[in-house]
Amino acid sequence: MRHYKKGRKLGTDASHTKAMKKSLVGALLANDRIKTTETRAKEIRGDVDRVITWAKKGDIHSRRLAIAAVGDKEIVREVFEKVAQGMFQDRPGGYTRIMKLGPRLGDKAPMVIMELVTEPVKKAAPAPAPKETRASRRAAKKAEATTVAEEVADDDVIEVAADEAQAIAEEAVEAVAEAAEDAIEVVEKAVEEAPAE
């Protein structure tokens, strides 16, 4: 039983499968496009994405991991240089594309072309507005009623403040008038008491 044996068998023993996958990954990274069977292409997708993610990190540890996965220093150097120049910069994953070709003549195995995706990522269109539901309409009406109630309360506060300001102004006018009357009386007394010449 194949307990803890991850991945497809691909009709070979483990060492052959490992070598075949290394070879396919190296060929894809070197040529940007290969023709292979569908199962083999699906099996190496994760390995290719992993190598490109290491190239995006760009440190020495990632480079050594990539060399161990691909097995060719020159191919890894080329990939790291391409990524350093900005390739795959805005793409967060999914660096490969599989296009189906149809069955092979000899054994009817489904054939595909697997290639690296080099186009820049297109910006997604803005999502359409969500459809209005009964609950959202009720919530909007409730919010509007609350806003109107707050405005009315604010208007009442303003009216009360205006009434208080008017009362204070009237008291100030009365105080000024009384002070003026007192000043006039003082002046008249001073004039009466002044000696006539």
Q: Model-level pTM?
A: 0.61
Residue 196 pLDDT:
59
Do 143 and 62 share a structural domain? no
Do 108 and 163 share a structural domain? no
Residue 79 tokens, joined = 């990939």
3-class DSSP state of 99: strand
Please report whether residue 1 resides in a domain. no
Q: How many CB atoms lie within 10 A of CB 80?
A: 20
Do 72 and 32 share a structural domain? yes
d(CA 195, CA 197): 6
- pLDDT, one tens digit for every residue, the chain (197 residues): 889 888 888 889 889 999 999 999 999 999 999 999 999 999 999 999 999 999 999 999 999 999 999 999 999 999 999 999 988 888 888 999 999 999 999 999 999 999 999 888 887 778 777 767 777 777 777 777 777 666 666 666 666 667 777 778 788 888 888 888 888 887 787 777 776 55
Question: Residue 162 belongs to what domain range?
Answer: 130-197
Do 143 and 75 share a structural domain? no
Residue 155 pLDDT:
62
Do 143 and 106 share a structural domain? no
Residue 14 tokens, joined = 């483990």
| C-alpha closest to that of 73 among 53, 91, 51, 46 | 51
